[in-house]
């Protein structure tokens, strides 16, 4: 979990004003140029108005490109189910991802000299060395969790012997992957042996409407898988830093439903108890009296604001 990083790479800098202006344009006879010059307090009011009327089409004009780095392919496979987005993911056909980092770490601890980069002429010998180092690491009693962490994600439910067993299986899979490369099997075929737990990085572009209506409500919810939930809370925190007028109202499905059926309140107010839920139950059927506790659980340690 500690190696999962979410960063905002680019965004529509004047997105708040653009969304407010687009919203006002639908109801005003003024020219767009005049509307764009509205004062800041009017920007806030028009953004709130989109929540009151559930008028989110203007939000499509503000776009955000972000990076999820170090998450597993379990997480990225869920992420790409959001169809109104663009994705570019690290290829396991043309790269070894983070596997070589684990192999070189094992080699260094064992005193095995492996090339840092496989050269074309001697690539097979390098791959054989990586495979040997990983297999020897499993046999020698080195800490497998420490060695596997650079390359693989560990679910938080794994503890004790189960954690060690998973780490050894990860390292063994990586060793077998390199043994196939060493005998000339292509990466695109050798990757069939790699567990979904392998770390990846993926660049995502979404507009504000997709974020606030779909991605954040679904993935910040306590019902979401823990890893993509962590990514969603980290992303929300960055979005609030750059566009607080937009994303302070966003949140899990309970907050989205509450804020689109009554006067919207910032997510932080619900977390800290300054705002209460009036909906009888959330979309996941948690009754009103249990929603805040569920929200706090979803926020978790890593995503705590």
Comparing 3 with 133, which gets the higher pLDDT? 133
Supply the Cα-derived Rg of the chain in whole angstroms: 24
pLDDT attached to residue 120: 75
Query: In 10 A of CB 161, how many CB atoms?
Result: 8
**H/E element, 65:** strand 63-72
Q: Which domains does the chain have, with CATH numbers?
A: 5-89+201-249 (3.30.1360.170), 99-193 (no CATH)
Mean pLDDT of 65-89: 96
Least confident interval from 18-32, 116-130, 196-210: 18-32
Q: Which among 219, 229, 253, 292 is annotated as catalytic?
A: 219
- Predicted confidence (pLDDT) at residue 301 exceeds the cutoff of 50: no
219 is catalytic: yes
pLDDT attached to residue 3: 85
CA dihedral angle for residue 173, residue 177, residue 180, residue 185, rounded to 10 degrees: 140
Contact 86, 211 (CB under 8 A): no
In terms of Cα–Cα distance, which of 240, 256, 261 is closest to 303? Answer: 240
303 confidence band (pLDDT: 50, 70, 90): very low
Mean pLDDT of 200-216: 98
- Predicted confidence (pLDDT) at residue 24 exceeds the cutoff of 90: no
- Per-residue pLDDT tens digits for 99-156: 999 999 999 999 999 999 998 778 999 999 999 999 999 999 899 999 999 999 999 9
Q: What share of the chain in percent tops pLDDT 70?
A: 97
- Per-residue pLDDT tens digits for 85-108: 999 999 999 999 899 999 999 999
């Amino acid at each position: 979990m500690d190696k999962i990083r979410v960063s905002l790479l680019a965004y529509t800098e004047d997105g708040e004003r653009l969304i407010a202006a687009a919203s006002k344009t639908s109801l005003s006879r003024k020219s767009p140029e005049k509307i764009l010059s509205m004062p800041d307090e009017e920007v806030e009011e028009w953004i709130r108005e989109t929540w009151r009327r559930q008028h989110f089409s203007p939000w499509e004009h503000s776009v955000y490109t972000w990076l999820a780095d170090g998450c597993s392919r379990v997480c990225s496979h869920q992420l790409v189910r959001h169809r109104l987005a663009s994705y570019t993911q690290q290829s396991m056909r043309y790269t070894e991802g983070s596997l070589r980092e684990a192999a070189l770490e094992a080699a260094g601890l064992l005193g095995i000299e492996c090339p840092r980069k496989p050269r074309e002429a001697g690539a097979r010998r390098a791959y054989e060395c990586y495979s040997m180092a990983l297999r020897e690491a499993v046999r020698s009693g080195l800490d497998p969790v420490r060695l596997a962490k650079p390359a693989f994600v560990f679910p938080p439910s794994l503890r004790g012997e189960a954690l060690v067993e998973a780490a050894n299986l990860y390292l063994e899979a990586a060793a077998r992957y390199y043994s196939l490369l060493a005998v000339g099997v292509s990466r695109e075929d050798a990757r069939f042996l790699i567990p979904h737990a392998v770390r990846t990085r993926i660049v995502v572009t979404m507009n504000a409407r997709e974020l606030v209506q779909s991605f954040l409500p679904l993935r910040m919810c306590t019902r979401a898988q823990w890893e993509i939930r962590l990514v969603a809370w980290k992303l929300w925190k960055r979005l609030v830093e750059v566009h607080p007028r937009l994303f302070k109202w966003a949140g899990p499905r309970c907050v989205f439903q509450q804020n689109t059926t009554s006067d919207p309140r910032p997510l932080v107010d619900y977390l800290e108890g300054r705002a209460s839920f009036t909906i009888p139950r959330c979309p996941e059927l948690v009754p009103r009296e249990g929603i805040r506790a569920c929200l706090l659980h979803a926020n978790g340690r890593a995503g705590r604001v």
